[in-house]
Amino acid sequence: MAFSLRQQVLALSAALTLVVIAALLYASRLTYQEQVRQLQDEAVAMTTTVVAYLERHLQTADVVGQTAARHPALQRLAMDHAGDVLRPLIGPDRSFLNAVVADVEARSLAWMAPPAADVEGQLSREWLAGVAANGRPAASPVLGSADSAAHVLVLAQPIRDREGTAVGVLGLAVHLELLERVLTRIPLPAGSVITVTDERNVVVARSLESSRYVGRPVEGTPATLRPLREVPRADLRTGVDGVERASGNAIVERGPWLVSVGIPTAVAAARTAPIYRRDFAIVLGAMGVILGLALFLVHRWLAALHEVGRAAERVSEGDLSPLEPGHFGSTEIDQLHTGIVGMINSLREAQEAVTAQMSEERRVREEKELLQRQLIRQERLAAIGVLVSGVAHELNNPLQAIMGFAELLQLHEDVPEAVRQDLSLIRRESARASGIIRNLQRFGRQTSEPSPVRLTDVVASVLELRQRKIESQGIRLDIEDQSEARVSAVFTELQQVVLNFLINAEQAVEALDTPRRRVKIRTSDGRNSARLEVEDHGDGVPPADEAKLFQPFFTTKPVGEGTGLGLSVSYGIITSHGGEIGYRRSHTGGAVFYFELPTR
């Protein structure tokens, strides 16, 4: 189906528009991804700031705890006097919510203020004893159940006497609201969140909706939650509130806690949207201008092409009268019009020469056909000459048998059963000799009229002439005869082609080791054709010679062993029957010569 130039330009413009829009969307996607990576970098930088901020506050708390732990009253675990030291530090408006003092085995547990049963009351005595045993500051897990109104952390310091021996533990309870107030004061884009989790993946502090998430474990299964040290520096994750954020992660060694700063990916989309809208508007505007210019130029070109088309129609109708030169506003179309004018002049000059050339070509073609027929006839005579020695040998054996058994008959007065068997053998050998002679006569007969021929019969007739020769050379001959269709051909000419193929195959394997002396003949039927192939296990034809196989007087055989006409004559025979002849390399490395003829 043909389309007008205007339709093609419109279709091309539409396709180009789609491609540009697709490229724009792809570029917008890349811009969005770059913005997301930038958000991750911002989150990582902010995480570093948050970690430094938290570590500074924790170091302040540790300094207070270490100073209090060195007080003589606490070193003696004298709770009456220790209260004077600790009470100024605790209270609703202080840094610490409560304080606890215990010995190295967490006995004599004493709180400066009554502990809430569901908050400070959850502090484990074993954990306090572990701090005393390790002799290092530590931070407790989050105290307070998921339903508690408050949550605290206990920052524990070992209490040492003047000799440096651990005698107890001082624990200062930090209200997590203090951490949350610190986090909320850090400037971040809307929807961003700072989350602090401990080693159990429990939320310690959160800048958004802290009352809902603090003290609760991060959503996920133990198999999907990674240890703090394995969390990547930056990643994309969906938080417990279902919002996807670009996150930066860092460890607060004092906890140890994981600090995650998440900036919503919607921020990247919001930053990308103005760029996308601007680029989209520019692209649409540019495509509109391009389409308008294209349509304007197409309109001018179509008018000029119509004029050139009318001139071409004159030529197609046989009007070779001269055309007037014209100008159409386009160099290419002017050149096309000038070319048509020159073509008309050339046609007028060539028209006179064509008639003479056709006569000359007719004469050359007739001479070529005559030479081809002569060449086929001479090649057939040459093939018969090749067969003479083999036929003489084939006739000698049955004739010797006839003569021998005739002599035996002369020696016997009656004819016993053994002689009858001998006479039967005489008849078989005589019949075989007769068949060979008859086949030779048919091969030498000058027949030019095509007749229905089966490839099976052609193969059988050639094998009658070459079978004994093949066996004497130790060549294994395999026949795969599957053709039943008939082709319209001259029987003797097909004999000549098959014989050429078979002789070439014999010569290709005669110098090989006996196991490799193999030749195979295959016939098969296609949908509307019959095919014959002769395959040998020789060395094949060099690639450089494949294109010249069917040229006259070209041969790959040594000097004196080939005329170079067999395959070229075979090529002429098959093509004259409307068939196809060719060569290919077999899977064994040998040669496969084939031809294919149309069936009746």
111: β partners:
100
Please report, for residues 152, 458, 490, 533, the alpha-carbon distance to residue 455 in angstroms, rounded to integers and kept in the order given.
Answer: 101, 5, 12, 11
Look at the block and give the residue holding tokens 């094998």: 463
Q: Which residue has the tokens 């006479």?
A: 423
Domain boundary among 446, 472, 507: 446
Cβ atoms of residues 568 and 550 within 8 Å? yes
The per-residue pLDDT for range 263-287, each reduced to its tens digit, is 888 888 888 888 888 888 888 888 7
User: Does some domain include residue 156?
Assistant: yes
Tell me what pLDDT residue 15 has.
82
- Which residues, 6+ apart, have CB-to-CB distance to 232 below 8 Å? 249
Given 446, 468, 502, which residue is the final one in a domain? 446
Any domain includes 303? no
How far is 369 from 371, CA to CA, in rounded Å? 5
Task: Pull the structure tokens for residue 324.
Answer: 């007037």
Percent of the residues in the chain that have a pLDDT greater than 70, as a whole number:
76
* Sequence-distant (≥ 6) Cβ neighbours of residue 301 within 8 angstroms: 5, 330, 333
- The whole-number pLDDT of residue 523 equals 94
Amino acid of residue 135: G
The predicted structure's pLDDT at residue 518: 92
pLDDT tens, position by position, 41-74: 888 888 888 888 777 877 877 888 888 888 887 7
| Percent of the chain residues topping a pLDDT of 90 | 9
Output the domain CATH number for residue 487.
Answer: 3.30.565.10
Spatial separation of the C-alpha atoms in residues 7 and 14, rounded to whole Å: 10
Q: What is the pLDDT of residue 430?
A: 63
Residue 418: Cβ within 10 Å count: 10
Q: How does pLDDT run across 366-398, given as a tens digit for each residue?
A: 777 766 765 675 566 556 555 654 565 566 667
**Which structural domain, as residue segments, surrounds residue 324?**
320-446
pTM of the model: 0.45
The answer on 442 and 455 residing in a single domain is no
How far is the CA of 232 from the CAs of 246, 321, 485, in angstroms?
Answer: 12, 85, 76
- Read off the amino acid at residue 361: E
**Among 191, 205, 221, 162, which residue's Cα sits nearest to residue 53?**
205
- Least confident among 178-182, 189-193, 432-436, 442-446: 442-446
DSSP 546: G
If asked whether residues 536 and 513 sit together in one domain, one would say yes
Tally of structural domains, the chain? 3
Q: Which residue has the tokens 């709770």?
A: 79
Domain-located, residue 295: no
Q: Are residues 430 and 473 in the same domain?
A: no
Q: Supply angle C-alpha 516, 518, 521, rounded to 5.
A: 160
Hunting for tokens 């001139």 — which residue is that? 311
Neighbours of 369 (CB within 10 A): 12
Q: Both 390 and 514 in a single domain?
A: no
Co-location of 185 and 101 in the same domain: yes
CA angle at 291 for the pair 287 and 294, rounded to the nearest 5°: 140
Pair (56, 163) in one structural domain: yes
In whole angstroms, give the CA distance from residue 294 to residue 13.
Answer: 9
- What DSSP letter does each residue of 258-318 carry, written as one string? EEEEEEEHHHHHHHHHHHHHHHHHHHHHHHHHHHHHHHHHHHHHHHHHHHHHHHHHHHHTT
Same domain, yes or no, for 267 and 331?
Answer: no
Q: What is the CA radius of gyration of the chain?
A: 53
What pLDDT score does 564 carry?
61
Q: Do the domain assignments include residue 300? A: no
Structure tokens belonging to residue 97: 């919510």
CATH number of the domain that 27 lies in? 3.30.450.20
Q: Are residues 45 and 123 in the same domain?
A: yes
If one compares 84 and 595, the residue with the highest pLDDT of the two is: 595
The answer to whether residues 212 and 239 belong to one domain is yes
Tens-place pLDDT, residues 190-227: 888 888 888 777 887 787 777 777 777 775 444 445 67
Helix axes 455-472, 331-411, angle to 10 degrees: 60
The answer to whether residue 47 sits within a structural domain is yes
Q: Can you tell me whether residue 357 is helix, strand or coil?
A: helix
In a domain, 310, yes or no: no
> Which residues have CB under 8 Å from 509's CB, separation 6+?
475, 516, 517, 518, 519, 536, 537, 538, 590
H or E element, residue 459: helix 455-472
3-state secondary structure of 539: coil
Strand partners, 520: 478, 535
Q: Are 569 and 581 in contact (CB under 8 A)?
A: no
Examine the domain organization and report whether 54 and 181 are in the same domain.
yes
Distance of alpha carbon 384 from the chain centroid: 58
Alpha-carbon dihedral sign for residues 15, 18, 20, 26: negative
- Quick check: is 306 in a domain? no
363-367, 385-389, 414-418 — which one is most confidently predicted on average? 363-367
What the block records as the tokens of 341 is 């004018």
- Do 236 and 328 belong to one domain? no
Assigned domain for 572 exists: yes
pLDDT at 29: 84
On whether both 227 and 275 belong to a single domain, the answer is yes
- Of 427, 446, 465, the residue that ends a domain is 446
pLDDT band for position 525 (50/70/90)? Answer: very high
